[in-house]
Amino acid sequence: MKDVSAVEKQNAIRAIRAGVKIACGTDAAVSPHGLNAHEL
């Protein structure tokens, strides 16, 4: 997980710098809606 998280973070930074729009969501129905950003 640590290796994957490090790579994902660098990919996200590159995408944001390139102007890629980022969306956040889930298909899990076990937590309240609208709180996903707190996890990030």
Residues above pLDDT 90, as percent of the chain = 32
> Residue 37: which pLDDT band, with cuts at 50, 70 and 90?
low
Domain count of the chain?
Answer: 1
Angstrom CA distances, 34 to 15, 20, 22, 38, stand at: 23, 22, 16, 9
The boundaries of the domain holding residue 24 are 2-39
Q: Are 5 and 13 in contact (CB under 8 A)?
A: no
- Give the single-character DSSP code of 25: -
- The per-residue pLDDT for range 11-26, each reduced to its tens digit, is 999 999 999 998 876 6
